[in-house]
Structure formats: structure tokens, C-alpha cells
Structure 1
Amino acid sequence: MALCRQIYRCTQAMPSGELYGLTGQMRRASVSVPSNIAEGFGREGQKEFLRHLRIAQGSLNELATQHELATSMDMIPSDPTTIRLIEETDLVLRGFIRSVKQSLRKTPSPSA
């Protein structure tokens, strides 16, 4: 959620012509990360949770790319806080995915 708030703050400075372009894409990608985690958690089953964690990881990768584009084109300044939040979120998601995958391996499959 901290990353979402940070992206909304930093994209306020982007050109108004980008509101429905890169600004909107960055905001949607940032919201997609915690939304997919929450949706996956709310569904029954570890496999479904893992699937949503991977979708969240994909959204985070999109956001990192979009952020790099926006900063390289001087639409927003490069901000260490935003970069740190993207990196921290990536580390946490990777660890979470690894943990859920391990728990799936330990869970016995149902007998036919």
C-alpha cells in the first residue's frame, strides 16, 4: 500500500497529457499489486493464492519499467524512496511466492 501511495504522489507531477497514458498505467499497475495479493488471499487454496501472487509480481515488474521510462523522460524526478519501495516490494513478493510454493510441496495431494 505504501508503494501505491508513493506512486500516486509522484505521478501528480507528471504532464497532464499523460493522465490517461503513462500516469494511468503506473497507477493501475501499483494498485494491482496489493489488490492481487488481497484477492488471492481471499480465495480458497494455496494454488489460487500463488497464481495471484505471480500476477502481483508481473504488475510490479510493469510498474518498475513504467517508472524507469517516466524518470528517463524527465516526466518525474528519480526518487530514492520510490525506487526503494519497488525493490522492497519485489523482495517481499519473491519471498512470499517461495514460501507458498514450499507449502504446496509439503501438502499431500488428495487421493483419488
Structure 2
Amino acid sequence: MHKIEDLKIWQKSIELTKLVYKLIATLPANEKYGLTSQIKRSSVSIPSNIAEGAGRNSNKEFKYFLSIANGSAYELQTQLILTIELGLISKEKTKPILALIVEIQKMNYSFQKSLEMTILNTQY
């Protein structure tokens, strides 16, 4: 088990979620149950799955939940790009958030590889 408060990837994903919530507050009201709802769910899913994985009993399970969190990061990235393409939010407003998403995706990939090495080393 890992202490989530010590995990940089979890800390950054919490920050990401807060930034996303502030950003989507500017979306039009008619998107409240459409794109806004999807964006909220995918952003919350990232730190939530990292936390769930951290609370599991094995690195293999943790790696699985990191994989889910990574999928949510790509989903969020896509949804934010859609908000730009649809003219709902400016590219400038989303730029720092999209950069943070990419950073978290890279951290996630590295963390999964690190856990994979730990898993392989404990099998022998």
C-alpha cells in the first residue's frame, strides 16, 4: 500500500481536477449535462483511480488502476480538445491544463514501468 498524499502523480492529478473544475465553470449552461458532466467525471477519475490503486494489496493491482487513470487522462485530453474545436473555450485557457495532462500521462507511464519492474523482480 502507498500513502497517496506522498505520490506526486496523485498530487498533480488533484491539482488538475481543481483547474478543470474552474475552467468548465465558464462553459455555457446548455452543456451542463453533456460535455461538462463528462469532463468532470474523467478529471475526477484520474486521482480517484490512483488512490484506489494505492490502497490495493499488490503492485499488480496498483498498475491496473494506474492504467485506468491513464485512460481517463486521455479521455479528458480529448474532451478539452473538443471544447476548443467547438469554440466553447479558448485554446489559451486550456493550454496549461492540457500541458499538465501530458505531464501526468508521462508520470503515469513511468510509474507503471517502475511497478512492472518491481513485480518482475519479486517473481524471481
**Structure 1 and Structure 2 fold alike (TM over 0.5):** yes
Q: Which runs of 5+ in 1 are unaligned?
A: none
Q: Which residue of 1 aligns with 2:19?
A: 6
Unpaired segments ≥5 residues, structure 2: 1-13
Q: In the alignment, what sits opposite 2:58?
A: 45
State how far apart, in whole Å, the 2-side matches of 1:22 and 1:11 are. Answer: 9
Greater C-alpha radius of gyration? 1
Amino acid at match of 1:82: I
Contact 1:2 1:85 in 2 (8 A): no
Q: Which residue of 2 aligns with 1:23?
A: 36
How many pairs does the alignment contain?
109
**In structure 2, what residue type is equivalent to 1:95?**
S
Between Structure 1 and Structure 2, which shows a larger proportion of helix residues? 2
CA root-mean-square deviation: 1.0
- The within-5 A match list for 1:1-112 is 1-78=14-91, 79-108=94-123
Q: Deviations over 1:70-110 (max 9, x none)?
A: 1111111113211211111111111111111111111126x
**Equivalents in 2 of 1:77, 1:89: separation in Å?**
22
Q: Provide the TM-score with structure 1 as the length reference.
A: 0.93
Identity %: 39
Secondary structure, aligned partner of 2:123: coil
Distance 1:107 1:18 in 2: 48
